[in-house]
């Protein structure tokens, strides 16, 4: 009667899944509560203009967060330097416009993929701590960028090709939003359906079991970081196009925003679980909250404070859930 043993724990596990669903539910309820609250109290929230502002703000962070999701699911915590890479990619893109628009995009994307991919290679090959590696890599990128540019902003060359369409509305919606949607759809399909994505999920759940099962740990880790690098570079190109220049200060809070989007979406910090779509929802939630605070005249520190509180709550909730799941 192995039925007893098999059936009982599975009931626990369903309650475990319920707990995870509860988080999603909570985020959703929170989201709608804020929306309703906003309808009643904040003037100017319900306007096409404002929605565009929210979705545009969510787009840039969201694109970076799509890549970050790959790193988190692969079990490698976070990259703490994607924001810097995005900023350097922006400068790279602006500088590379001298090779034409397509050339500039390719150069910037390759730059992002290589810089962050190398970090993944190091982490995957040596098992180094991703937090430390990515902090070091961030400092290195910043230093080299300032050294090369002399600390001043990078501007497009004379007779640069036009890149304004990258941030202009298309059918009334800003172009970056389309890029965001494409990134989410591609990112989700790729991680859920591809062999590489399956490997990422398995390795994220248990790197030891992954190694024993013969999964290519180094290749998978590098791959997850390359995806993050491509995403950071794409976001960087849009940032550069928007500012019409490249500067290191363009991106201070991008990394923490992207991490927050992943966490608020409910992707587990411990890896092996989560999805890109969840991250997209997280990015929109955060953008909405920031927008509300802005409309109500709160300063940037207050926005950061609220973000910090939300992320902390989500982290505590997901910790409680994993504890409960672990005990059963």
Question: Does 202 help bind other proteins (rule: CB under 8 A)?
Answer: yes
Count the residues of the shown chain that bind other proteins, applying the rule CB under 8 A: 34
**Quick one: which of 70, 111, 201, 225 contacts other proteins (CB under 8 A)?**
201
Question: Does 10 help bind other proteins (rule: CB under 8 A)?
Answer: yes
Residue 55: phi, psi to the nearest 5? -65, -35
Specify the length of the chain in residues: 328
Residues 72 and 262: their CA atoms lie apart, in Å, by 8
CB of 324 to other proteins, least distance (A): 13
CB of 186 to other proteins, least distance (A): 13
- The secondary structure of residue 246, as a DSSP letter, is B
290 or 321: whose CB is closer to other proteins? 321
CB of 165 to other proteins, least distance (A): 32
CB of 9 to other proteins, least distance (A): 4
229 or 274: whose CB is closer to other proteins? 274
**Quick one: which of 31, 155, 196, 298 contacts other proteins (CB under 8 A)?**
196
* Stretch touching other proteins by CB under 8 A, among 1-9, 21-29, 98-106, 252-260: 1-9
Instruction: Find the binding residues for other proteins in span 273-302 (CB under 8 A).
Output: 273
CB of 268 to other proteins, least distance (A): 9
Burial of 277 (0-12, 13-18, 19+ CB in 10 A): middle
Helix (H), strand (E) at residue 170: strand 169-170
**Quick one: which of 21, 211, 252, 324 contacts other proteins (CB under 8 A)?**
211
State in Å, rounded, how far the first CA of the chain is from the last one: 20
Question: Does 158 help bind other proteins (rule: CB under 8 A)?
Answer: no
CB of 209 to other proteins, least distance (A): 6
Residues 93 and 97: their CA atoms lie apart, in Å, by 6
- b/e map of 218-249 (b: 16 or more CB within 10 Å)? eebbbbbbbbbbbbbbbbbbbbbbbeebbbbe
Residue with tokens 């991680």: 191
* Stretch touching other proteins by CB under 8 A, among 62-70, 126-134, 212-220, 241-249: 212-220
Residue with tokens 């929230």: 45
CB of 260 to other proteins, least distance (A): 24
Question: Does 320 help bind other proteins (rule: CB under 8 A)?
Answer: no
* Stretch touching other proteins by CB under 8 A, among 110-118, 137-145, 191-199, 225-233: 191-199
Residues 289 and 294: their CA atoms lie apart, in Å, by 9
Residue 300: phi, psi to the nearest 5? -55, -45
**Quick one: which of 132, 213, 302, 316 contacts other proteins (CB under 8 A)?**
213
Which residues 6+ apart lie within 8 Å of 15 measured at CB?
328
Question: Does 21 help bind other proteins (rule: CB under 8 A)?
Answer: no
Residue 42: phi, psi to the nearest 5? -95, 120
Chain residues in the site for other proteins (CB under 8 A): 1-10, 12-13, 193-196, 198-199, 201-202, 205-206, 208-216, 272-273, 325
């Amino acid at each position: 009667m192995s039925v007893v043993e098999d059936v009982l724990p599975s009931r626990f596990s369903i309650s475990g899944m319920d707990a995870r669903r509860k988080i999603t539910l909570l985020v959703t309820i929170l989201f709608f509560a804020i929306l309703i609250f906003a309808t009643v109290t904040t003037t100017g929230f319900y306007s096409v203009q404002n929605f565009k502002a929210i979705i545009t703000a969510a787009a840039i962070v969201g694109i970076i967060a799509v890549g970050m999701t790959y790193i988190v699911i692969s079990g490698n915590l976070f990259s703490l330097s994607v924001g810097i890479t995005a900023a350097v990619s922006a400068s790279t893109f602006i500088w590379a416009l001298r090779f034409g628009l397509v050339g500039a995009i390719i150069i910037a994307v390759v730059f992002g993929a290589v810089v962050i991919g190398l970090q993944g290679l190091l982490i995957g090959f040596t098992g180094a701590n991703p937090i430390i590696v990515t902090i070091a890599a961030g400092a290195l990128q910043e230093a080299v960028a300032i050294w090369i540019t002399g600390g001043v902003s990078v501007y497009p060359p004379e007779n640069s090709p036009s890149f304004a369409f990258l941030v202009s509305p298309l059918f009334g919606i800003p172009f970056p939003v389309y890029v965001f949607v494409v990134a989410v759809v591609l990112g989700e399909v790729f991680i859920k359906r591809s062999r590489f994505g399956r490997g990422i999920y398995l390795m994220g759940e248990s790197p030891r079991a992954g190694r024993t099962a013969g999964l290519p740990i180094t290749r998978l880790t590098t791959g997850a970081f390359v995806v993050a690098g491509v995403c950071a570079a794409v976001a960087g190109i849009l940032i550069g196009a928007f500012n019409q220049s490249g500067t290191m200060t363009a991106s201070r809070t991008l990394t923490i925003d992207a991490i927050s989007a992943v966490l608020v979406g409910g992707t587990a910090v411990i890896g092996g679980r989560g999805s890109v779509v969840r991250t997209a929802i997280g990015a929109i939630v955060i953008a909405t909250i920031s927008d509300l605070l802005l409309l109500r005249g709160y300063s940037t520190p207050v926005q950061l404070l609220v973000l910090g509180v939300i992320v902390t709550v989500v982290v505590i909730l997901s910790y409680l859930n994993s504890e409960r799941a672990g005990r059963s």
